[in-house]
Structure 1
């Protein structure tokens, strides 16, 4: 039986794991509601198991976020790049999230590094580009929707040939498309409002350092159903 593989690239904060589950659990909760009966969900922790699954056994790939930084070029992360390029060449459906977004962009020839404007945290608006409005995955979303965000690094330079699908005032690369069934997003469709608030609480000092109010950001956290719907909709392409 083919599987949709959740590629685990990091762990959530311990208090998030204790109350809501780790990254792979957050993704599983969203994906399992729309998973076709002939598919399974599996998890591959790339930091602990270096041998990747064979691509011909996979119906799709979802890459999680991480507290690591792509620009640190950790060996386990760098080892993923040729595997991701092979998956793209084989037209395996892929969806990268946050770290997964930055890693896919770097693997395909772009540049990911610290955002010059600092950290973006909280529930913020995201707007589709004209290409996004015509994209088969994103085109059913409203032109403007809210999404949960928590990142210090970003895609500084998109790969040649990538299409920008969504942006906002902080980040020009909120969503990218690399092929007919390969996408990545900077925001977190797997986050719930409670998880988003927990991330803001953990980042209070860093947010104050860049002159943002953690309390105001927490008060503005809201449900983000349109962003979350991307995970279930992605399964339509596997």
Structure 2
């Protein structure tokens, strides 16, 4: 008889979406949990910003680190505490997926650098191109060589940690995905965003970030499309976490 009780798959909530989106569409943790679609692992949401304890690496099946409207380079105490914890998870071999802020924080946590992108904001539905290394990557193998993804970021992983493998990029952002070790990934794009969320971000950022930069929000909004390949990464990661827990 198998008495194994599955360890939780943790969503580390490091930010909140805009209130108008949250009221009608839920928040980051809801979007991530829906994409993970795990039937075997309990989902646990923790928020280091409010002082939630960060679980010991051996008590988890995996961790997904959310996006945030904060900036990694501000080195907020909750962010630095989470970065130290991420380094412990990676050293332990616990599966990790960092999304946008989480992607940049993972790079920072392991000795890389996160900061302002020299060419400013990247936002909307964009094309991501896989590197050759992705063909043998446990998370990305079998994905289309090019796929559409939702993005919104002002900062980037400017320098990857030593030993990291770049897995994907595009013309604006050289590092759309990377892996460190066997089971830790960062993705700059948002697999949890659907088209409605992306249009909501365009609407909210139009006045302060798009129009001043010469970007037409209406044209950008019209170009938003569904991104099923990118969205599938969350379920792919859940399968990796399930396998890790079973082992």
Which residue pairs with 1:15 in the alignment? 20
Given that 1:50 and 1:76 are in contact with CA atoms closer than 8 Å, whether structure 2 keeps it comes out as no
Which residue pairs with 1:235 in the alignment? 238
Q: Deviations over 1:92-124 (max 9, x none)?
A: 000000000000000011100010100000000
Residue 11 of structure 2: which of 6, 16, 34 is its match?
6
Compute the displacement of 1:163 (Å).
Answer: 0.5
**Structure 2 residue 216 is matched with structure 1 residue 213:** yes
Q: CA separation in 2, counterparts of 1:209 and 1:158?
A: 30
**Structure 2 residue 114 is matched with structure 1 residue 109:** no
Which residue pairs with 1:130 in the alignment? 132
SS in structure 2 of the partner of residue 88 of structure 1: helix
Q: CA separation in 2, counterparts of 1:209 and 1:128?
A: 32
Residue 164 of structure 2: which of 159, 162, 165 is its match?
162
Compute the displacement of 1:182 (Å).
Answer: 0.8
Q: TM-score, normalised by structure 1?
A: 0.97
Q: CA separation in 2, counterparts of 1:134 and 1:29?
A: 27
Unaligned runs of 5+ residues in structure 2 are 242-247
* Runs of 4+ deviating beyond 2 Å: none
Compute the displacement of 1:50 (Å).
Answer: 4.3
Residue 47 of structure 2: which of 41, 45, 62 is its match?
45
SS in structure 2 of the partner of residue 184 of structure 1: strand
Q: CA separation in 2, counterparts of 1:210 and 1:132?
A: 33
Given that 1:162 and 1:176 are in contact with CA atoms closer than 8 Å, whether structure 2 keeps it comes out as yes
Given that 2:46 and 2:52 are in contact with CA atoms closer than 8 Å, whether structure 1 keeps it comes out as no
Q: Deviations over 1:164-204 (max 9, x none)?
A: 00000000010010011110100000001000000000010
Q: CA separation in 2, counterparts of 1:77 and 1:127?
A: 29
Q: CA separation in 1, counterparts of 2:135 and 2:226?
A: 22
Which residue pairs with 1:226 in the alignment? 229
Given that 1:147 and 1:224 are in contact with CA atoms closer than 8 Å, whether structure 2 keeps it comes out as yes
Unaligned runs of 5+ residues in structure 1 are none
Residues 142-157 of structure 1: matches in 2 within 5 Å? Answer: 142-157=144-159
Compute the displacement of 1:160 (Å).
Answer: 1.2
Which residue pairs with 1:183 in the alignment? 185
Q: CA separation in 1, counterparts of 2:201 and 2:119?
A: 19
